[in-house]
A and B are shown apart, each in its own frame.
Chain A
Amino acid sequence: MTRVAIIGAGMTAFGQLWEKGLIDLAVEANNKALEDAGIGRKQIQALYCGNMSSGMFTKQEHVSSLIAGASGLSPIPSTRIEAACASGSAAIREGFLAIKSGLYDSVMVVGAEKMTDVSSTASTRILSAASSQEFEASIGATFPGLYALLARLHMHRFGTTEEQLAGVAVKNHMNALNNPYAHLRKKISVEDVLRSQKIADPIKLLDCAPVSDGAATVILASEKTAKSLTDTPVWIEASAQASDTISLHDRDDLTSLNASAVASREALRQARLENQDIDCLELHDCFTIAEILAIEDLGFVGKGKGGKFVEDGQTEIGGKIPVNPSGGLKAKGHPIGASGVAQAVESFWQLRGEAANNTNPARIMTHNVGGSGATAVVHIFGR
């Protein structure tokens, strides 16, 4: 089977982009990626669109064909992939599989979300549709609430502190300072996080990723096509996805997201690598506790030791394993369906030495979570 490469990438700035609609965002990212790859529209054989909830955010469904048409790509097949906050990475995986199968030589994957046309209360409610509507959301368990349940148990069982959680936000804000695409380019302190508005104890406002608009696009190609178009392809060395129960309360262990652990192990197995072979992580930090859970679940630090690992600076650029040099969801922004694709865009730039905070990696792992861990997608990218 052919190897699969990323041959071009592009994204919009993330933020509250009132002047741009969902389609404007997707087309902008698509055009940038096409130009970056140096590939013609006619060579793109299929489009995969990661989007969580265009229907509830903008009352527009069927956005796959809408984006294809607006991007000048009709009549190629265009398919929307929804896996809550992991929609973007799940879409990349579908594109990867289509090329791997030999069916296509080059496809486009776009992730896009327009979130700020609705009130913040409405967006909280829309996001809660990624949890169990009947047995979590409808009784009042918001998304910050669900992650707060995980955070309190982690603190109770392992002694993880609110200061350690805040440390994740401080680092990711610091990383985003240099990133021209980031939503929150503002240096913050641990005290700022601790003093920010309480959302769902122990989670505070600055523990949360912002509500953002944005889109990101990658163009995937077979080995033969990639080599004909570029001397510096970025290879997808592994693509793994796992699921879990949608409700937290149905899981055996609430100090871990098992789907993350399963997907990570499977990705490392596919690439024939071990954790120590990974140089950099772009992972799913929708809340600060999520980054601590992820570095543990992905196998980079022992269970319960994530808080101390962050406190010791091991996840900073220059630390043992740089985590979220882009600023992560926390500071780069979290337009739900775009986030997973934006992680791949960052990886592409990191591996080509074009990222804002270049960590000069040979291999990057990305990790994208849907909901409170009911989906996890892990990719490994290499030069």
Chain B
Amino acid sequence: MTASIWRNLNSFYNLIGSKCRCSELHFPEAHVCRKCGSTALTEHEFSGKGKIVTYTIIRQQYNDETESEKLMIGNPYIIAIVQLEEGPMITAQISDANPEEVTMGAAVTSVFRKISQDGEDGVIKYGYKFILA
């Protein structure tokens, strides 16, 4: 788990994706441009501003009692696909909001939050969530 978090630190911590020489932007970081097939990609940091394309309120139990890793979520919790102002879309939790406050097209901005924790004293995974702007 630790290594898999570490590998994606750029994407999870700093909302860093890739920019192709053809100008296509990708999130998370890409090895090959989906538009032109080029491998000449450089790091690109996104602003974290965007809008909600679609969302859902998840009411099922997510955390399995037999696993030590727990996701930091409310009950229920909100999952959305957010389109970043630069173009790419991202799936994320919408935090600090009641379900009835969330609307299609709502402006959101990214925040840095605790995503999950593996056991009482275990590894904490941090990353992006979004809040209503």
Contact = CB atoms under 8 A, between A and B. Distances in A.
Given A122-B64, A153-B54, A198 B116 contact: no
A228 interface: no
Interface string A129-152: 000001110111110110011101
Contact of A139 (B59, B65, B93): B93
Given A134-B4, A145-B79, A152-B104, A139 B115 contact: yes
A198 B53 CA distance: 21
Contact of B89 (A142, A144, A199, A249): A249
B9 interface: no
A145 B58 contact: yes
From B4, B56, B64, B73, residue with most partner A Cβ within 10 Å: B56
Interface string B31-69: 000100000000000000000011111111111111100
Interface residues of A, number: 34
A260 to B, nearest CB: 19
A201 B56 contact: yes
Given A141-B79, A145-B79, A198 B59 contact: yes
Interface string A159-200: 000000000000000000000000000000000000001111
B50 to A, nearest CB: 11
Contact of A119 (B57, B64, B77, B91): B64
Contacts of B60: 121, 124, 142, 144, 199-200
Nearest to A202: B56
A152 B57 CA distance: 11
Nearest to A128: B62
Contact of A149 (B28, B54, B64, B67): B54
Interface residues of B, number: 37
Nearest to A247: B91
A200 B91 contact: no
B75 to A, nearest CB: 11
Nearest to B73: A140
Contacts of B81: 149, 248-249, 254
Contacts of B67: 125
A153 B91 contact: no
A145 B11 CA distance: 22
B91 A141 contact: yes
From A121, A124, A202, A249, residue with most partner B Cβ within 10 Å: A249
Interface string B64-103: 1111000101000101110000001111110000010000
A201 B57 contact: yes
B23 interface: no
A227 B57 CA distance: 55
Contact of A121 (B54, B57, B61, B93): B61
5 contacts: A125-B62, A136-B91, A140-B73, A141-B79, A141-B91
Interface of A: 119, 121-122, 124-125, 134-136, 138-142, 144-145, 148-150, 152-153, 156, 197-203, 245, 247-250, 254
Q: What 8 pairs across the A-B complex have the smallest Cβ distances? A: A148-B56, A249-B89, A153-B54, A201-B57, A149-B54, A200-B56, A200-B58, A121-B64
